C-alpha cells in the first residue's frame, strides 16, 4: 500500500492527538493522517465499562512501560501504564476530570510562555467540554457544580457516573474533614482546588460508557474524507529534507506497518502526540536531543537540545484500606485535596523552612544526575516556584481519593508536587528497543516524607467520627504492621515497598524558553525545526494538581488554533 502525501501527519491517536486530528480536519481540503500503534477499542468492555478501572491493565492495549531500578525507592522497577489504542491513555485511565490550580497555569507564562495563563486557557477547557448537568439523584449523592466554570457545547462529555455511591456520604465526610481544617469545595474546576469534593468524570451519562478521546473527537468524524487514521502502525522516526541546514525541515515519518517499513509524507507539519514516554524518544531517534546521547548510538545530530527527555516528573501513589461497616454500591467520586497547612497544622513553618533550605541542594543533585543536561539555575527556579505554590499559595498538597466499594472502604493518595526529577532516553538507535525510563522516585527526603505525612493524615481522618463509624479494622498497612507510634523510617519502608507510579508523567519535552531548558516554544514548535511540534503531556513544564486529561484537551484545542492561525485556515 502506498500512502499519499498529507498536509499534517500526527504521531499518536491518543488523548491530545485526536483533538488535533479533529480540529485540523474541520477545514475541507486540509488533509490529516494519524499514525497509531494501537487499534479500535470502541467495543472493548475493559474500556467502555464505567466501573471497569484497571481491567485493561496488562492487556494488549497497555504499553506497560517498565522503569529502571528505582535507586531511592528500594531498588525495584515500576510499571508505567499508558494506552495503546485509538484514544490513547484516555481509554484506560481513571476518568477523573479535574483541571489545575489557576496559578499553576499562570506559571507557564511567568516562565516565558507568552499567551499561556489560566485566563487564556479557560476558554479552551470550556471549548473542549460537553458538561452534563447532574440529575437530582446524582445531586443527592454529592454531585455539584458552578455552571460558569463549565462548557456545555464541547465534544468531550463530562459528568457523573449513573450509579454513584449509594447513601449520602457527603455530610459524613464533610463533618470529618472539617475537623481537620479541610473545607467543602463545591466545584474544583474553577481554578481553586483545595477541599473535599465530588469530582466529575469523563463519562457519557446517557450511554453509561467511558468518554474517551476517540468517542469524543474521532468516531463521530471518522467519515471525513480528509482525515485518515493509520492503525497498527508504529512510528520509528521523523524524516528530514536533505537541504535543511538552517532549520530542520520534516518531510514525513518512517513507520513500521503490517506491510513493512514505509514512509508517510507530510507537506506541512509533523506533530508528535505519542505521550510523555514516547515523544521525547521519537525526537532522539530523529536526531533531536543531547549530543552525548545521540553520539553513543551514531544518530546524526539535527538539533542540539540537551533537555530532550529530561525533566521527567511523576507522582507516587499508595493507599490505606479499611474494613467497611456498610456495603457500598456504585462508583465513588469523592476526593480530598488538602493544602500543606491542612496536612501539617502548626508544624508547617518548620517543614517549609526545611524544604526551602534544601532547594539549592536539590537543584544541584538534579543537574548532576542529568550529567549537566539541565542547568542547576533552571531547576532551582522551578523548585522555588514549586515551593511557593505549596507553602505560600497553598495549592493542594496531596490528592486523597476515597473508595467505599462493597464491604471495604479504602483510599488512594499521592502527594501532588514531588521534587524528584528523572529522565527518559533511548538505549539504541532501533525504534523498537525500549527506552531507559527513570523517574527517580523519592530522590529527595521531602518526597518520601510527604508520602508518610499524607498517609498519617489519612489514618487520622479514618479515626475521627463520624467517618470512623463507617470503618472497622485497617487492612493496609494495618496496625500490626505499622502501629500508631511507628517511626518515620518504618513508615518510609512501607511506602517504598507498596507505592506505584501515579501514571502522570510530564515535562519530557517542556514548553519553556530554550535557555530555560525548553524543548518546544510557546507555539509548541520544537526549537531548531521549521515544522515539527509536540502536543501531549510531554510539553507540560511542571506537574499539576489536577489530573492531566482535562488540561491536555484544552492545550490541544489551543494548539489547533495556533496552527490554524499560522496557516490561515
Ligand atoms: P496518550 O497516551 O493518550 O496518547 C499517545 C498515543 O500515541 C497512544 O495512543 C499510543 O498508542 C500512541 N503511540 C505511542 N508511541 C507511538 C508510536 N511510536 N507510533 C504510533 N503511535 C504511538 N488522567 C485524568 O485526567 N484522569 C484520570 O483519572 C487519570 N487516571 C489515569 C490512570 C491510568 C492508569 C493512567 C495510565 C493515566 C491516568 N491519567 C488520568 C493520565 C492521563 O490519562 C494521561 O496523562 C493522558 O491520557 C496522556 O495523554 P497524551 O495525549 O499525552 O498521550
Chain position carrying cell 518526597 = 447
* Residue 47 alpha carbon to ligand 1 centre in Å: 13
For residue 95 and ligand 1, the question of a CB distance below 6 A is answered with yes
Query: What residue owns the CA closest to ligand 1's atom 34?
Result: 93
* Residue 89 alpha carbon to ligand 1 centre in Å: 3
User: How big is the CA angle at 529 (ends 523 and 530), to the nearest 5 degrees?
Assistant: 75
Instruction: With residue 119 as reference, give the H or E element that holds it.
Output: helix 118-128
Whole-structure pTM value: 0.98
pLDDT value of position 166: 86
Give catalytic status of residue 199 as yes or no: no
Query: What residue owns the CA closest to ligand 1's atom 14?
Result: 274
C-alpha 408/C-alpha 376 separation (Å) is 46
**Which residues are CB-neighbours of 369 under 8 A, at least 6 positions away?**
421, 423, 440, 443
pLDDT value of position 502: 98
- Containing structural domain, residue 68: 1-43+52-124+218-314+504-569
For residue 504 and ligand 1, the question of a CB distance below 6 A is answered with yes
For residue 404, which of 325, 481, 338 has the smallest C-alpha distance?
A: 325
Residue 530 lies in a domain: yes
Closest atom of ligand 1 to 546 CA is 25
* Residue 238 alpha carbon to ligand 1 centre in Å: 21
Give catalytic status of residue 5 as yes or no: no
Residue 80 lies in a domain: yes
For residue 82 and ligand 1, the question of a CB distance below 6 A is answered with yes
**Which residues are CB-neighbours of 368 under 8 A, at least 6 positions away?**
none
- Residue 536: DSSP 8-state: S
Confidence tier at 2 by pLDDT (50, 70, 90): low
pLDDT at residue 441 greater than cutoff 60: yes
Counted domains in the chain: 1
For residue 210 and ligand 1, the question of a CB distance below 6 A is answered with no
For residue 314, which of 457, 477, 456, 424 has the smallest C-alpha distance?
A: 424
Residue 380 lies in a domain: no
Query: pLDDT digits over 31-86, tens only?
Result: 999 999 999 999 999 999 999 999 999 999 999 999 999 999 999 999 999 999 99
Q: Region 478-499: what's the mean pLDDT?
A: 97
Averaged confidence pLDDT in the chain: 97
Joined together, the cell numbers standing for residue 82 give 499508558
pLDDT value of position 167: 83
Give the start-end residues of each E strand in 455-549.
471-476, 500-501, 532-534
Count Cα neighbours of 439 within 13 Å in the Cβ-side half-sphere: 30
Closest atom of ligand 1 to 57 CA is 34
- The active-site residue, picked from 150, 199, 425, 547, is 547
Query: pLDDT digits over 247-291, tens only?
Result: 999 999 999 999 999 999 999 999 999 999 999 999 999 999 999
By three-state DSSP, how is residue 382 classified? Answer: helix
CA distances from 374 to 105, 311, 354, 385, 411 (A): 22, 8, 24, 17, 36
* Residue 275 alpha carbon to ligand 1 centre in Å: 6
Provide the phi-psi class of 199: left if phi over 0, else alpha when psi is between -120 and 50, else beta: beta
pLDDT value of position 4: 79
pLDDT value of position 3: 67
For residue 98 and ligand 1, the question of a CB distance below 6 A is answered with no
* Residue 14 alpha carbon to ligand 1 centre in Å: 6
What CATH number corresponds to the domain at position 94? Answer: 3.50.50.60
Residue 349 lies in a domain: no
For residue 13 and ligand 1, the question of a CB distance below 6 A is answered with yes
C-alpha 455/C-alpha 285 separation (Å) is 41
Q: Region 158-175: what's the mean pLDDT?
A: 93
By three-state DSSP, how is residue 422 classified? Answer: strand
pLDDT at residue 1 greater than cutoff 50: no
- Concatenated DSSP letters for 68-104? PP-TTTTS---EE--B-BTTGGGGTS--B-----HHH
Residue 109 lies in a domain: yes
Residue 132 lies in a domain: no
- Residue 404: DSSP 8-state: E
Main-chain dihedrals φ then ψ at residue 396, nearest 5 degrees: -55, 135
As to burial, measured by CB atoms within 10 angstroms (0-12 exposed, 13-18 middle, 19+ buried), residue 470 is buried
Residue 476 lies in a domain: no
**% of the chain surpassing 70 pLDDT:** 99
Residue 383 lies in a domain: no
Amino acid at each position: 500500500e502506498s500512502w499519499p502525501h498529507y498536509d499534517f501527519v500526527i504521531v499518536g491517536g491518543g488523548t491530545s492527538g485526536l483533538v488535533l486530528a479533529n480540529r485540523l480536519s474541520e477545514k475541507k481540503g486540509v488533509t490529516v493522517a494519524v499514525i497509531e500503534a494501537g487499534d479500535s477499542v470502541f467495543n472493548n468492555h475493559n474500556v467502555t465499562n464505567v466501573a471497569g478501572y484497571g481491567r485493561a491493565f496488562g492487556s494488549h492495549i497497555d504499553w506497560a512501560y517498565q522503569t529502571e531500578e528505582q535507586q531511592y525507592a528500594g531498588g525495584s522497577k515500576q510499571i508505567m501504564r499508558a494506552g495503546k489504542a485509538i484514544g490513547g491513555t484516555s481509554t484506560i485511565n481513571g476518568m477523573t476530570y479535574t483541571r489545575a490550580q489557576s496559578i499553576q497555569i499562570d506559571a507557564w507564562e511567568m516562565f516565558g510562555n507568552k499567551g499561556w495563563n489560566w485566563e487564556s486557557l479557560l476558554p479552551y477547557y470550556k471549548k473542549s467540554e460537553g458538561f452534563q448537568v447532574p440529575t437530582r439523584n446524582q445531586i443527592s449523592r454529592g454531585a455539584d457544580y458552578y455552571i460558569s466554570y463549565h462548557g456545555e457545547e464541547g465534544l468531550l462529555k463530562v459528568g457523573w457516573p449513573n450509579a454513584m455511591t449509594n447513601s449520602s456520604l457527603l455530610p459524613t465526610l464533610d463533618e470529618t474533614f472539617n475537623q481537620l481544617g479541610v473545607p467543602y469545595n463545591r466545584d474544583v474546576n474553577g481554578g481553586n482546588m483545595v477541599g473535599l469534593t465530588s469530582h466529575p468524570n469523563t463519562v457519557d451519562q446517557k450511554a453509561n460508557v467511558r468518554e474517551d478521546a476517540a468517542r469524543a473527537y474521532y468516531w463521530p468524524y471518522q467519515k471525513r474524507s480528509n482525515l485518515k487514521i493509520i492503525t497498527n502502525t508504529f512510528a520509528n522516526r521523523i524524516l528530514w529534507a536533505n537541504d535543511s541546514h538552517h532549520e530542520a525541515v520534516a518531510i514525513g515519518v518512517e513507520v513500521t506497518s503490517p506491510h513493512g517499513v514505509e514512509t508517510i509524507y507530510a507537506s506541512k507539519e509533523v506533530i508528535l502526540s505519542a505521550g510523555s514516554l514516547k515523544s521525547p524518544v521519537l525526537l532522539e531517534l530523529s536526531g533531536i536531543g543531547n549530543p552525548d546521547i545521540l553520539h553513543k548510538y551514531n544518530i546524526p545530530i539535527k538539533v542540539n537540545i540537551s533537555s530532550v527527555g529530561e525533566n521527567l516528573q511523576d507522582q507516587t501513589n499508595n493507599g490505606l484500606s479499611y474494613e467497611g461497616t456498610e456495603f457500598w454500591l456504585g462508583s465513588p467520586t469523592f476526593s480530598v485535596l488538602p493544602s500543606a497547612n491542612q496536612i501539617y497544622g502548626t508544624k508547617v513553618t518548620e517543614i517549609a523552612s526545611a524544604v526551602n533550605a534544601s532547594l539549592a541542594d536539590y537543584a544541584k543533585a538534579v543537574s548532576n544526575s542529568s550529567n549537566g543536561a539541565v542547568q542547576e539555575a533552571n531547576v532551582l527556579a522551578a523548585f522555588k516556584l514549586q515551593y511557593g505554590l505549596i507553602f505560600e499559595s497553598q495549592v493542594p498538597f496531596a490528592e486523597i481519593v476515597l473508595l467505599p466499594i462493597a464491604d471495604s472502604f479504602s483510599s488512594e493518595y499521592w502527594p501532588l508536587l514531588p521534587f524528584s526529577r528523572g529522565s527518559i532516553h533511548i538505549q539504541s538507535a532501533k525504534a523498537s528497543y525500549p527506552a531507559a525510563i527513570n523517574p527517580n522516585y523519592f530522590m529527595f527526603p521531602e518526597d518520601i516524607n510527604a508520602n508518610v505525612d499524607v498517609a498519617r493524615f489519612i489514618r487520622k481522618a479514618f479515626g475521627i467520627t463520624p467517618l470512623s463509624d463507617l470503618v472497622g479494622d485497617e487492612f493496609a498497612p494495618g496496625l500490626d504492621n505499622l502501629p500508631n507510634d511507628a517511626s518515620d523510617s518504618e513508615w518510609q519502608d512501607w511506602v517504598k515497598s507498596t507505592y506505584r507510579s501515579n501514571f502522570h508523567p510530564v515535562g519530557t519535552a517542556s514548553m519553556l524558553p530554550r535557555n530555560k531548558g525548553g524543548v518546544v516554544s510557546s507555539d509548541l514548535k520544537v526549537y531548531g525545526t521549521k515544522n515539527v511540534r509536540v502536543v501531549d503531556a510531554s510539553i507540560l513544564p511542571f506537574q499539576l494538581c489536577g489530573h492531566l486529561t482535562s488540561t491536555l484537551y484544552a492545550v490541544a484545542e489551543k494548539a489547533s488554533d495556533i496552527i490554524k492561525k499560522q496557516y490561515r485556515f
